[in-house]
A and B are shown apart, each in its own frame.
Chain A
Amino acid sequence: GAGVSQSPRYKVTKRGQDVALRCDPISGHVSLYWYRQALGQGPEFLTYFNYEAQQDKSGLPNDRFSAERPEGSISTLTIQRTEQRDSAMYRCASSLWDRYNEQFFGPGTRLTVL
């Protein structure tokens, strides 16, 4: 079956522009997570949803970052007024539920801010 998909796979933008990153989880998965992964480091938690409810957004770095999952399926991570320090791999993962279930990761979106 289809895994987690993310789009775009690569995004190059200029500083100050807004970007929207999309995640399409595995069908039927309740929980959806957003991570940021720098080279040589582990995935850094940003936020997660159960259905359409945002359960924890404690990892969002500042108020330029926001996420939504309005219908409990596809999610969008939006970064406003991008800065060079936002350049990273952004990964989405989904799981059946948020506890004691493996996370299935998507291929990621490589964001480069010039």
Chain B
Amino acid sequence: GQQVMQIPQYQHVQEGEDFTTYCNSSTTLSNIQWYKQRPGGHPVFLIQLVKSGEVKKQKRLTFQFGEAKKNSSLHITATQTTDVGTYFCAGGVFSSNTNAGKSTFGDGTTLTVKP
């Protein structure tokens, strides 16, 4: 079945440093979503990418979807302590045959930021 891998598993940075997490799927995706989960919390939606090669920005966060729609990245510029948490990608695959679809989550990258 579909697999979604994320690297690195953990990232420790000094406040102000940049951070990048990478997501790779074993199959071509219909879309990719990114979620953030704070310690003790639940996943919260950040953004969705649908088009091949798409790039979206949210303030200090930049999201990219690969040309082959099998990989994605999230880059945070100048991290702040509020960026702490686990970032998950979720690769969506939708079938026109079954008229059903689902997203497969990666295991996330946990970011810690040292003030």
Contact = CB atoms under 8 A, between A and B. Distances in A.
Does B associate with A? yes
Interface of A: 33, 35, 40-45, 48, 55-56, 58-59, 91, 93, 98-100, 102-108
Interface of B: 1, 4, 6, 30-31, 33, 42-45, 48, 50, 88, 90, 92, 94, 100-108
5 contacts: A40-B107, A42-B105, A98-B101, A99-B94, A105-B44
Contacts, number: 60
Nearest to B6: A42
B108 A42 contact: yes
A102 B33 contact: yes
Contact of B104 (A45, A100, A106): A45
A99 B92 contact: yes
A106 B88 contact: no
B100 A56 contact: yes
A91 B42 contact: yes
Contacts of A107: 42
B108 A102 contact: no
A33 B6 CA distance: 22
Contacts of B43: 43, 91, 93, 103, 105
Given A99-B30, A105-B42, A45 B107 contact: no
A98 B100 contact: yes
A34 to B, nearest CB: 11
Nearest to A101: B48
